[in-house]
Amino acid sequence: MEITGKIIDVLDIKRGEGAKGPWQLQEYVLETKGDYPKKVCFGVWGDKIDQYNLKVNDEVTAHISLESREFNGKWYTSVRSWKIETPNAAPNDFDQTPQYTEAPPEISDSEAPF
């Protein structure tokens, strides 16, 4: 899913410690264009925070995923961005092999999806 608009607010970074180690989350508020603009708060996790380094007034297209979870009878929805494009960014070259900065996590046989 994609959403396009202008960054109107950059919230404070949230940090914590989970079962898998430390984590950090940067949230942004994006305002869509059009006759009836909408405001959407979305989050960027981990290393992608520094990779994108978004600022107020940046025009972006955020590729997002939505997920809802139930806790104590109430539902909570998170909007997470896994990729962000800006108008000035160079186009992707999909014919190149992706370059990884770290090895993919190892999955045990009991965790394998097949």
Residue boundaries of the structural domains of the chain: 2-85
Check: CB of residue 25 under 8 Å from CB of residue 43: yes
pLDDT of residue 40: 96
Closest CA to 34 of 61, 79, 4, 56: 4
Per the confidence metrics, is the pTM higher than 0.75?
A: no
Q: Which two tokens stand for residue 61?
A: 């297209």
For position 59, what pLDDT does the model report? 96
pLDDT at 89 over 80: no
CATH homologous superfamily for the domain 2-85: Nucleic acid-binding proteins (2.40.50.140)
DSSP code for 13: P
Average pLDDT taken over every residue of the chain: 82
- CA-nearest of 78, 46, 81 to 62 is 81
- pLDDT (0 to 100) of residue 47: 83
